[in-house]
Every structure is written in structure tokens, then in C-alpha cells.
A and B are shown apart, each in its own frame.
Chain A
Amino acid sequence: MDWLSILSTATRGMFGPEAAIYALAAIGLNVHFGYTGLLNFGQVAFMLVGAYGVAVSVATFGWPLWLGVLVGIACAVVLALLLGIPTLRLRGDYLAIATIAAGEVLRYFYRSGAAEPVTGGVFGLRQFADSFFDLNPFEPGSYGVGVVTFDARSLWVMVVGWSLVALASLLVWLLVHSPWGRVLRSVREDELAARSLGKNVFSYKMQSLVLGGVLGSLAGALLAINVQSVQPDTYNPVVTFYLYVIVILGGAGRIMGPILGSILFWFVLTFLDAFLREGTASGVISTSILQGADIGAARFAFVGLGLILLMTFRPAGILGDTKELRLDVR
């Protein structure tokens, strides 16, 4: 077993473009779930409209990339309004059902034959982010420390991605440490109490849904740019659940929660992947137990096991305060 190679792969996973992208989407989900108590099970839908905003604008209509990002943001705002207007007045679980359904409806719509001339249907769209990589200030080559290296392309996406994560975190920090954030947290604790004090709860929930959705759409746009392609089935409901894992792992309602959660999630995922591959390849793990083709599934089984252990022993996440969590039970 080549431990150095396993660890360097895992370290790359921790800080790679995917970790930044998932952190960004999770920051949006944290605004919904962690600070407002909105059960949004369709964060992936916001990522989808963000990704297709870029892809369709550039590949289908030939617009500039920056306009595509704005189109994605606009789509996220519209989606948030469409989802929120009928459901935010109802109890929390209705939003959960509506959002998970909306995510699936959108995915099927974008992959449908009817939408194919615009979205590319099941084949999706590709090669629309050249103008993003043209701006890459890094010379081709490999950058990094020791065995942990990235190519110039990944590095450029990482720089943009982690910068967006930092900016989004700063934005959320400013907001939640203001009277606006106090109202948001009061909505999370008890809507009726907030209402009795003259707060327009519906409006705050809508603002939260839009803000988190826009962050999700930026993550989606960057995801599409990173791989230079969009394909509807990338945006399946499981992505939202990974985001929940990330938020809960790091600590819901904590500024650094989604960032730490994403780094850890991707570390564990890439570590397991590399470890199992090395293990089966070198014969340490017998092929009668695990075969190469099953590794992708097996690593998620271990992630699930890890999550069960976390919920048992540290239910508030890494950064969360267990005392705080127990307050609900009373």
C-alpha cells in the first residue's frame, strides 16, 4: 500500500475545486437550514439552474460567460420566488416536499426531448467555458507543495471557488450578526413568536430562500465551468443530501460549518476511494470482499456509517454546540 499516494490524493480532494464548489452550495443551504430553519431539500435545483444558466447562455445563444452567470443567478431568484410563494406560508415540511419535487421536475425538464434544442437534452452541453480559462493567470504546469499538486486549470478554478466561498461567508457573517440575522434566527426558533412581535416572517423566509438559492446557483455555475460540461443527471437529489451531510458535519448555523464540512467530506470521500483502490490493487483487500467496480458505492457506504457515528456521538456537528442542540428537546 502506498500511503503517501493515498494521503496526497485525499489532500487534493480536501482543497480541490469540488470541495470549494460544494462548500459554496452548502453555505447557501446553511442560510436556509441552519439560520432560518427552512427544510430545503432541493438545493441541487438552484445549482442546476445556475449551471444551465451559463451553459445555455454561452453554448446555445452565444452570449458572453459573465452574462451567463447573471442569467443563472436570475433563474435562481425566479425559482426561489416560485417555490416560496405557495409554500413558505405553510408548515416547514411542505417546503421540503415542494423543493425535492421541484428539483426532480427541473432535471427531467432539462433532459427532455422538448428542451433538447436549448439544453442539449440527455447529452447536455459542453465546451462553453473557454473564456473563463482564457483568463487563467497561471502558466501551464503543476503547482503545489510536495506530492500534493494541482494543474493550472484546477488551480484557477480553486482560486475563484475558494474566493467565492470566502466572500459568501463574509456576506453571511455580516448578515447573521445584524438585526436582520436576529429576525432570521427568531424565525428558525418560533415563527409565531416572531410574527407576534411585528416581523413579516414570510418576507424573511423569502429573502433567505433567495439568498441561499443564489449562492447555490453560483456553485452550480462553477461546477459547470470546472468540467466544461453540463449533463442533467449530474444534478440528482443525492447532491442535496451530500450538502446536508456537509452542513451537519461541519455544524449547522455556524459560519465555518459548511467550509469545514466540505473539506472533511471530500477528504473522507477521496481518502476512502484511494485507500480502497490501493487496497484492492495491492491485494491487501481481497477481491472476494470488494471488487474494483464496487469501490464507488462502498466509499459512500462508509461515509454513511461515519455519519451515523457522528450523529450518535456529536449530533451538533464538529463546530456545533451539543448543549445548544439539546435545548430543542425540552
Chain B
Amino acid sequence: MSDERIDRSATGSTASSGMPQRAALADVPPEPGARKPDALLVADEVRRRFGGLQAVDVDHLEVQRGTITSLIGPNGAGKSTFFNLVSGFDKPDTGSWSFDGTSLTGRSAYRISRAGMVRTFQLTKALMRLTARENVMLGAQDQRGERFLAALWRPGWQSQEREIGDRADELLERFNLTRMRDEFAGTMSGGQRKLLEMARALMSNPSMIMLDEPMAGVNPALTQSLLGHIEELRDDGMTIVLVEHDMDVVMGVSDWVICFAQGRVIAEGTPDAIRSNNAVIDAYLGTSRALKADIEGPTDREEGTDE
């Protein structure tokens, strides 16, 4: 596991320029299954059937490194199921996928997470009877004190524990949760739990974070500041995949948008390309949303999130 970790920090630093990987997307044709110049996640033939329902039927999907990629689509389109499959929380009927060149097909969820691909959940999974700080500290990887015998020898892990605690405090601060630091996560509001879950996932220093509806139930001001953080993370070289229904969020922050419908990828492209894509308008956005976008134009939204 540790060599994967070193790998990741290496790619992180080279990607910290960030921009070339985003800019390269301009040359990617806006069509389902498009190849990306520097793909971090590559999925092939991933299919999952629930009884008579073909929930996920993805022929080919790539996520460009160092970008924010959003998955959109109507309810039941298979976005979250796709998340579950590639993160190891569900087993596909067929399919293979690789992450940073390593095949993750059939690996268990915890090993996928350790490989640097960390996810959050649509229905928040706060650890109720752990404090907010403990929740975040749990996210740290390679903790010496997490081994049975090592746990008994306090001096062996105490210094690392202090470092982890400091990092957790920074993350809590960043997510406006410092006030709740020593409270049980179960006492926090739904929105706060979303934030806590995101902070916890970031604590593991992932090279890719998959956020399942991160902004649902979070107030607008905080949404804005979170989007700012997400963009910062991207600029630091992290790859972010979002499932989100808030089109202002999706269009404002995404570098690339992939639209699902009935388990399949029906369209992908830059936010502008997606907004005018007829298949997406029919399946998901609806004409009013598309029209509104034409009137307002994309520029003012981008300014909004840059603040």
C-alpha cells in the first residue's frame, strides 16, 4: 500500500500545475465514451442488473486527471450505482476498471480506498457516537496505532496521533465545523454531517474523491465556499468526481460533464457543450433550463463561483 501512496503524491506534485490537464479537455470530442489525454479512472463494459432493470450499462468511461467531472442525469439513471460499483461497494455483473493504471476490478472497497480513490455517500454516513474530530481523524491512512499490538504501546503512535489531530483540526476549520469539534457527530445537522463526511474523506489524502450529492442540504453561502475549496483541491492536483443535481453547481464548477440516462452514458462534454446537447435536454435538463442558460449565458455563472 505504501508504494501506491508515494506514487500518488508524486503524481500530485506534477499535476499541481493543474491547468494543462483541464486545457487538454478542450480537444476531447464531446461524445459518450470519449478518450481523455490523461485519464485517471478508466472503466470498460461495466454493467449491473437488478432483476429486470439494467441499472448500469457503461461501455467506456474515462475521467481526466486533475479535473472536476460531474455526473448528471435523472433519478434512477445509475449514477450512484456506478459510484458504488467502481468504489467496490457493489459488484458489477461484468466490467473492468483501472485507476492510475492499476486494475481495481473486483477489489474490496477498503483496498480501493487505500489506492487513493475515496468516496462519500448520498445518504450521509456520519459516525454518530464518535466526535466530529474523531470522525475526521479516522480518515487518516497508515496509522501505526491501528494495529492491535501497536495500539497497546502508546509512545509508538502518540506523535503521529498528534499530527493527525492537528490536520483534523485544520480540516474542521476549513469546513466551518470547529465549533462542533468535540460534539458527537450524531448531534450535528444534516448539512453539517455532509461537510463532516467530506472532511473525513479528504483526511485520507486521496488522489481522487468521489462526492455523491455533496451540496444537497447545504446552505447557499456554504455551498459557495465549498465550491471554492473543491476548485482549490482541483488546482492542487486532486481529481474530483461529483454526482449533483444542482445545475448551478454543476455548470459553474465542472470541467467536464457526463450525463447518464437509464444506466448508459448518453452524452459528455464541457458544461457548454452539455447545455446545448439535445439528448441531455430531452432526458434531464428540460427545455426551460436549457433556454435559461442561453439567456443568461455561461459567463456570469463562472464569475459567481470564482469569488
Contact = CB atoms under 8 A, between A and B. Distances in A.
A197 B121 contact: no
B109 A196 contact: yes
Nearest to B149: A180
Contact of A178 (B108, B120, B145): B145
B8 interface: no
Interface string A303-330: 0000000000000000000001001101
Nearest to A329: B186
Given A174-B151, A189-B127, A189-B129, A196 B87 contact: yes
A207 B149 CA distance: 11
A154 B187 CA distance: 48
Interface string A184-228: 011011101111111111000001000000000000000000000
Interface in A109-131: none
B71 to A, nearest CB: 18
A198 B130 contact: no
A196 B127 contact: no
B161 interface: yes
B157 A182 contact: no
A327 B145 contact: no
A224 B55 CA distance: 57
Contacts of B302: none
A183 interface: yes
Given A182-B138, A328-B128, A198 B147 contact: no
Contacts of B89: 192, 195-196
Given A178-B151, A178-B154, A179-B143, A193 B109 contact: no
B125 A192 contact: yes
A195 B107 CA distance: 12
Q: Which interface class (under 10, 10 to 19, 20 to 34, 35 or more) fits B?
A: 35 or more
Contact of A190 (B111, B118, B125, B150): B125
A189 B128 contact: yes
A181 interface: yes
Contact of A179 (B128, B146, B197): B146
B128 A327 contact: yes
Tell me which of A174, A182, A253 has the highest count of chain B C-beta atoms within 10 A of its own C-beta: A182
Given A194-B138, A201-B110, A179 B130 contact: no
Interface string B43-81: 000000000000000000000000000000000000000
Contacts of A196: 87, 89, 109, 113, 118-121, 125, 201
A175 interface: yes
Interface of B: 87, 89, 108-111, 113-114, 118-121, 125-130, 134, 137-139, 141, 143-148, 150-152, 154, 157, 161, 184, 186-187, 197, 200-201, 203-204
Given A175-B152, A194-B110, 20 more contacts: A179-B143, A180-B150, A182-B137, A189-B130, A190-B125, A190-B127, A193-B127, A193-B200, A195-B110, A196-B113, A196-B121, A197-B110, A197-B200, A198-B111, A199-B138, A200-B110, A201-B110, A324-B184, A327-B184, A328-B128
State the 10 A-B residue pairs at the shortest beta-carbon distance, nearest first: A327-B186, A179-B145, A180-B151, A178-B151, A198-B113, A193-B125, A189-B127, A198-B114, A195-B109, A327-B128
25 contacts: A174-B151, A178-B145, A178-B154, A180-B145, A180-B146, A182-B130, A182-B146, A185-B129, A185-B134, A189-B128, A190-B126, A190-B128, A193-B127, A193-B197, A193-B200, A194-B138, A196-B125, A197-B200, A198-B111, A198-B114, A198-B141, A199-B110, A324-B186, A327-B184, A330-B128
